Amino acid sequence: MLVPVLLAALLWFGVVEARAADQEEGPAKVVFANGGRILSMNADGTGREVLFGKDRSPQNDGLGAIEPDVSPDGETVVFGLRREVRGTGLVDIWRVGADGSNARRILASTVSHQYGDPAFTEKGLVIYAWFRRAKRVTSAGLSAVDPTGGKTRSLLRKSKRHRPYTAPVSYMEPAVSPDGRRILYLENPGYSNMVFGEGFENRLMVLDTGTGQSRELAESAYSAAWSPDGKKVVFGAQAADDDLEICWWMAGCDFESSLSVVNADGSGRRAVTRSNLDERNPDWSEDGRIIFQSARNLPETGEATEIYSVRPDGRCLTMLTNGSPASLTPVWADEGDSRPRSCGVNPPESGVELRLPPVGRVGAATPWLGDSPGTRLLSNVSVNRRSSMFLYLDCERQRAARCERPVMIWNLDACVYRNQLAGAFRDGSPIRHQRGLPVYRSTRTDMGTFIFAFSGRSVLFMFGGEGRGRNLGKKEFDQLRGFGEEEPTGDLPARVRQNCLS
């Protein structure tokens, strides 16, 4: 009787010891882009920290720091830094310490010679995509460089003479296998609207670094990552329906996608997430968990994109970030425990990180909905001398069924819109009176249905919102408050007559 008891006790002690070792190992780190910054956090979404871009006002404009990757030793983060030059988006290659120190540029793009999509090799080199335009020839390829910006090595190159109505091929999103012998990359046939953009109808390719030969692994794909043993690949699979798009307010639209896993030889493809909800940019942890970005809580709206993790079999889907601006392109930073606190648990509250303009610039009486009305999160603010705009295209809930409809509040100086107001009225009569103001509904079908009211010297437009017919936007209208107020109070300012109105 004693021997089985002792064996059971030893086995139990071993389990406890293993768990304690897991706890001592600590959570894995995740590095991701957010509003033009580079951030890190723990695998459960806690410990959020800005590594690069602390002085930037974060917003979803596609500029600033993008697409980070972490060195094999976990000490360095490489990323792209997108800037705009005369209407052209250029990406420079940068590096920064994992603690946010010693940021420096490695490669600088020009209009004729552009770089992008940096990633580390297993030996700590930085592999990147490049695109070069000359008078008669366009070239594209993949190269590697020392993190200090030293000598480069060409890995893949293709040149093509310019021909009318024929777009040049470009390469994107390289990812090196754990053994360093193969490189995943996307081959875009020229359908991308910008160099190193997502594009569509990309071919997911595998380059053998020994022979220099490439083969196709999947078609209509987005970025991909290797499994820890190099035997499988996870990638974003473009939706079969080309009408499914996810759109950003300031950065255009991409086709929606879902996650799939395939063997490294192209066989055994299967779906992971089984939905077209813009799931892309995956990375695979050492202990077997996949992290990725998705806008599944507000499909078709890029501003709602957050970071999720999931098992390769599609189970234990968990949202890790929950805030505005959007969180994008996550990568694992070390070999710690990649599990969330619990499967499907709500993420830690990161909230709205946009920097609001001062009250004096906007006007204390300017109507808005606050930074987080209901389940919505403020995703963009734009203010100038004649107008102010507040976008609520994000949601703080994980499930789409629990998210309220997106809303845009646009306050425009009535004089700017004179002589055009009559065309927006339904029949000249308000659909209701609310907060001390008559509320009108539009007849401008080209702009969709919206409501508006005259408040102060401005026209207050509200696009989206809950309700239908005469109750469209009624709930949101009750949530309006002056920019200098924390809560809605009383009636909104009455209309001030101006001579400029016709």
Model pLDDT, residue 19: 34
* 425 or 53: which leads in pLDDT: 53
Which has the higher per-residue pLDDT, 340 or 134?
A: 340
pLDDT tens digits, 216-227:
999 999 999 999
Confidence of residue 250 (pLDDT cuts 50, 70, 90): confident
392 pLDDT higher than 80: yes
CATH 3.40.1000 positions along the chain are 359-482
Q: Radius of gyration of the chain from Cα atoms?
A: 26
- pLDDT score of 235 more than 50: yes
Q: Chain-wide mean pLDDT for the chain?
A: 87
Which of 330, 228, 348, 370 minimizes the C-alpha distance to 287?
228
Give me the phi and psi of 298, to 5 degrees please. -135, 80
344 versus 479: the higher-pLDDT residue is 479
Return d(Cα 345, Cα 36) in angstroms, integer. 27
Residue 129, strand partner residues:
116, 142
> In this predicted model, what pLDDT tens digit does every residue of 196-221 receive, in sequence order?
567 778 999 999 999 999 999 999 99
> By mean pLDDT, which of 29-43, 282-296, 301-315, 421-435 is the weakest?
421-435
pLDDT(37) > 50: yes
The CA distance from 203 to 222, in Å, is 8
**pLDDT of residue 175 exceeding 50:** yes
Largest CA distance in the chain: 100
Ramachandran area for residue 178 (φ above 0: left; ψ -120 to 50: alpha; else beta): alpha
In this prediction, residue 171 carries a pLDDT of 93
Whole-number pLDDT of residue 60: 92
Under DSSP, the state recorded for 492 is P
pLDDT at 502: 47
- Please tell me the total number of residues recorded for the chain in this structure: 502
Average pLDDT over residues 111-133: 94
DSSP string of 383-432, one letter each residue: E-SSEEEEEE-EESSSSGGGPPPPEEEEEEETTTTTTTGGGGBSSSS-SE
In angstroms, how far is CA 405 from the centroid of its own chain? Answer: 19
* Other CB atoms within 10 A of residue 425 CB: 15
Q: Which of 334, 283, 336, 329 is nearest to 310 (CA)?
A: 283
Given a cut of 80, is residue 180 above it in pLDDT?
yes
Q: What is the pLDDT of residue 162?
A: 79
CATH level 3 topology of 359-482: Protein Transport Mog1p; Chain A (3.40.1000)
Report which of 256, 270, 249 is spatially closest to residue 222, judged by C-alpha positions. Answer: 256
| pLDDT value at residue 75 | 95
The yes-or-no verdict on residue 3 having pLDDT over 80 is no
Strands 351-352 and 323-324: parallel
Which architecture, in CATH terms, is 26-352? 6 Propeller (2.120)
Beta strands in 54-191 (DSSP E): 64-70, 76-85, 88-97, 104-107, 113-120, 126-133, 137-145, 152-161, 170-176, 182-188
Answer whether residue 2 shows pLDDT above 60: no
Percent of the chain clearing pLDDT 90 (strictly above): 64
User: What is the rounded CA–CA span in Å between residue 363 and residue 350?
Assistant: 27
Terminal alpha carbon distance of the chain: 99
Q: Between 16 and 434, where is the model more confident?
A: 434
What is the predicted pLDDT for the residue at 397?
85
Phi, psi of 415 (to 5 degrees): -70, -30
Which helix H or strand E contains 352, and what residues bound it? strand 351-352
Token look-up 């297993």 returns: 122
Is the model's pLDDT at 401 over the cut of 90? no
Are 334 and 29 in contact by the 8 Å Cβ rule? The answer is yes
Residues spanned by CATH 2.120.10.30 within the chain?
A: 26-352
Q: Give the residue with greater pLDDT, 83 vs 162.
A: 83
- Whether 366 shows a pLDDT value over 80: the answer reads yes
Does residue 415 surpass a pLDDT of 90? no
Query: What is the predicted pLDDT for the residue at 427?
Result: 56
**Residue 110: HSE in the Cβ half-sphere, 13 Å Cα cutoff:** 5
The predicted pLDDT at position 67 comes to 96
List the Cα angle 348/117/255 in 5-degree steps: 70
140: alpha, beta or left? (left if phi > 0; alpha if psi -120 to 50): beta
Q: Residue 457 — pLDDT band, cuts 50, 70, 90?
A: confident
pLDDT at residue 20, as a whole number: 38
The pLDDT value given to residue 7: 31
* Percent of the chain residues topping a pLDDT of 70: 89
**Residue 341 pLDDT exceeds 80:** yes
What H or E segment, with its residue span, contains residue 294? strand 290-294
* Per-residue CA distances from 133 to 127, 128, 262 (Å): 20, 17, 35
Sequential DSSP letters for 150-177? --EEEEEEEEEE--TT-PPPEEEEEEE-
| CA gap 20, 26 in Å, rounded | 10
Tokens of 219: 């078609």
pLDDT number for residue 246: 81
Per-position b or e across 154-183, b if 16+ CB within 10 A of its CB:
ebbeeeeeeeeeeebbbbbbbbbbbeeebb
Residue 206 to residue 213: CA distance in whole angstroms = 8
Look up residue 83 and give its two tokens.
């800037």
Cβ(440)–Cβ(426) under 8 Å?
Answer: yes
pTM (global) more than 0.85: yes
Pairing of the two strands 137-145 and 152-161: antiparallel
Distance separating alpha carbons of residues 316 and 304, to the nearest angstrom: 21
